[in-house]
Amino acid sequence: MSKPRKTSHEEQQFEAWCEEAVAAGLLSAYEHPPATWELLPAQSVPVTVQLKTKCKTVWRHLCREHKYTPDFRLQLTLAGVQALHDALGKVVLTDHYKDTRTVYVDTKGAFTVQRGQDQMFQCNRKMVYAQHGIWVRKVVPRDWFCATWCPEAYRWMKSRKVPTLTKAGEKAGTVDEFMRRAIK
């Protein structure tokens, strides 16, 4: 039995954005987390072992398989393809996106002390593209909100006497404002 997956704060923010995108008709569905890809199989080597009366070949384990699971799979509608074209970046260049209107997203924080996490993501993204032709979009929610819109749940500061916008709420508009800009 596997442990339940922990959800980061960035994933919660992006999931709120996805819920608003579905309500606005930009996404037909989203999945969190989607299926896992096995990028490299486990490695073993044959070793000959001398028993009392004969030799036997056994397989010795060298390393586990390498798997990768993106954080989200988004299924865009035709309106979503038009409205989010600029925000998606390199994803729109791939054949997989053109055929399926599916986007895979990995959320990251704006700043991380552990530089190795980003390096590992870059390697995983390259392997996914090489094997499956899918470009995984890295999303920093704060920057993504500025490029699109800020979800209502993260637009206003909590527990304030006077309603106050968050920094992301000040920089980004609502989904309705984004739709008006995107239609032009």
Q: For residues 33 and 8, is the Cβ–Cβ distance under 8 A? A: no
- Structure confidence at residue 174 (pLDDT): 82
Q: Where do the domains of the chain lie?
A: 9-34+69-183
- Structure confidence at residue 105 (pLDDT): 93
Condensed to tens digits (0 to 9), the pLDDT of residues 89-146 reads 888 888 888 899 999 999 987 766 566 677 888 899 999 999 999 999 999 888 888 8
Q: DSSP letters of 98-130?
A: HHH-EEEEEE--S--S-HHHHHHHHHHHHHHHH
Higher pLDDT, 92 or 172: 92
- Structure confidence at residue 116 (pLDDT): 63
The answer, yes or no, to whether residue 6 has pLDDT greater than 70, is: yes
9-24 helix and 175-183 helix, angle to the nearest 10 degrees: 60
> What pTM does this model have?
0.83
- Structure confidence at residue 165 (pLDDT): 72
21: enclosing H helix or E strand: helix 9-24
Condensed to tens digits (0 to 9), the pLDDT of residues 17-56 reads 999 999 999 999 999 888 899 999 999 999 999 888 899 9
Residue with tokens 């925000």: 87
- Structure confidence at residue 7 (pLDDT): 77
Higher pLDDT, 66 or 9: 66
